Amino acid sequence: MSIDIPGMGTADWLGALDNLDLLAAPVAASLTAVAEREPDLAAQAVVAAIDPEFADTDAMTARYAMDLRLSCNCVLVAGKREGQERIAAAVVRATAKADVNHVIKRLLNVRKASFWPQERAVEASGMEYGGITPVGVPEGWRLLLDTRVVEGFAVIGSGLRSSKLALPGELLARLPGAEVVEGLATE
């Protein structure tokens, strides 16, 4: 059964918990764990299969007539301090940019913060590049959410380029270790 959510466009959205095969393994495991703690909230998560050629935000929102303001990006950022690498998954609305050079750098308490190279991001997350998502990030990583991400619905990666996950921002805020950060994103 297809689910209709305003602004979600023409993709065929289905209940995510009933379609875990459309999610990368760490994402499916994390969503299942959330469902055990927060069944009503997790039940609102939906997933849609998409053409992987349109997985990037701008292409996806255009191809599937989706409201860009619903879409969120998850970027992996790292820096070192005292020989230890500190990693964060930062989530911002697609209409904004993560403030890596000020806010994330300060939160990680590092001198320099940089986006992780594609190869490392894929290997460490267990997700495909272009589908990396905050749901299912490894323990030990900081999970930073801009305040605007936790308001309303958020369309995020599914861990795969061949689908997208949409869920209430409140669910993101209840992920293990999630930190809602004022000013994480700049317009």
Q: Give the global pTM.
A: 0.94
Mean pLDDT (the chain) is 94
User: Tens of pLDDT along 108-124?
Assistant: 999 999 999 999 999 99
C-alpha distances out from residue 76 to 73, 79, 90, 133, 168, Å: 10, 11, 6, 10, 21
pLDDT of residue 63 exceeding 90: yes
Cα first-last separation, the chain? 37
pLDDT of residue 70 exceeding 60: yes
Label residue 172 by pLDDT band (50, 70, 90): very high
User: Tens of pLDDT along 80-96?
Assistant: 999 999 999 999 999 99
Label residue 53 by pLDDT band (50, 70, 90): very high
C-alpha distances out from residue 151 to 68, 120, 180, Å: 15, 30, 11
DSSP E strands: which ranges in 99-152? Answer: 114-115, 142-146
- Predicted local distance difference test score (pLDDT) of residue 3: 65
DSSP E strands: which ranges in 58-141? Answer: 72-81, 84-93, 97-98, 114-115
Label residue 7 by pLDDT band (50, 70, 90): confident
Q: What angle do CA 59, 96, 126 make, to 5 degrees?
A: 65
